[in-house]
Amino acid sequence: MTAPAWIEAGRGDSALVCLHGVSSSAGIWQPLLPMLAAQGHRVLAWDMPGYGASAMPIRYDFAALADALAALLDEAGLARATIVGHSLGGMVAMEFASRYPQRVAALVLACTTASSGVHQGAAREAFLARRLGRLAQGGTMAELADAILPAMLGPRPPTGLLAELRRLMAAIAPPAYRAAINALVDFDRRAALAGFDFPVLCIAGDSDRIATVPTMRHMATRIRGASLAVMREAGHLAPFEDAQVFVALLAAFLDRR
């Protein structure tokens, strides 16, 4: 399998691999890379298959995404890494951890859930209509970004963040976005959580209406030894709404390890 594209910063004996959500790409992590690298880590952020500079795979499901992440680690010369996943990236991280546990040094799950919660029925159809309906009607990714991104932010996002998120989402190829959304609705790794045998940090935003604090707290209780940190006045994009707090949480977690 061809490895996905990635960007990176820093050098060190430990490596962090950062996975973005369905509405962005590696560029969302760009401001955080030097902050994490300054702590002595090699930090990589991938373009998920089909996104950015990464080729679209023949098969698009979570098993294929986990295999692609394993190929990235191989290409980067990494036997193991701390996997940092945001939103859909957290789902990929959980899938990877369940399939390649020997390659996970630690896991950071930010603003994510172990199940989509919209597997069937009216909830599934409503989710797909909200996330894909505008494209089906001939709309653009930029128009879709305008429709869904503002509600994902907390009460005090930094100046310019919404515009950057819109730019990144507008650049996503619609076929890749559709494939990722269709994979997302079937995601369910709740049964795997009890088997995670490595340090796990869960990070929630107190204003996140997608991966809510109670949902993430429940997920953390199902993982042996996992801890939960809640970022104040932050929404679904918490790591990027307050990068300094997010990086500090990661630093404290990795120091405890």
Q: What is the pLDDT of residues 164-219, one digit of tens each?
A: 999 999 999 999 999 999 999 999 999 999 999 999 999 999 999 999 999 999 99
DSSP-derived 3-state class of residue 202: strand
Q: Quote the pLDDT of residue 118.
A: 84
Q: How confident is the model at residue 147 (pLDDT cuts 50, 70, 90)?
A: very high
Record the pTM: 0.97
Tell me which architecture the domain covering 6-256 has in CATH. 3-Layer(aba) Sandwich (3.40)
Q: What is the pLDDT of residues 86-141, one digit of tens each?
A: 999 999 999 999 999 999 999 999 999 999 988 888 989 999 998 998 898 999 99
Answer whether residue 12 shows pLDDT above 90: no
- Distance between start and end Cα atoms, the chain: 32
Long-range contacts of 217-224 (CB under 8 A, 24+ apart): 219/109, 219/113, 219/114, 219/190, 219/193, 222/114, 222/190, 222/193, 222/194, 223/193, 223/194, 223/196, 224/194, 224/196, 224/197
Answer whether residue 229 shows pLDDT above 90: yes
Q: Quote the pLDDT of residue 224.
A: 96
Strand partners, 205: 231
d(CA 255, CA 257): 5
Q: Quote the pLDDT of residue 94.
A: 98
DSSP-derived 3-state class of residue 104: strand
What's the average model confidence in pLDDT over 68-94? 98
The percentage of residues in the chain with a pLDDT greater than 70, rounded to a whole number, is 100
Answer whether residue 67 shows pLDDT above 80: yes
Can you give the residue ranges of every domain in the chain?
A: 6-256
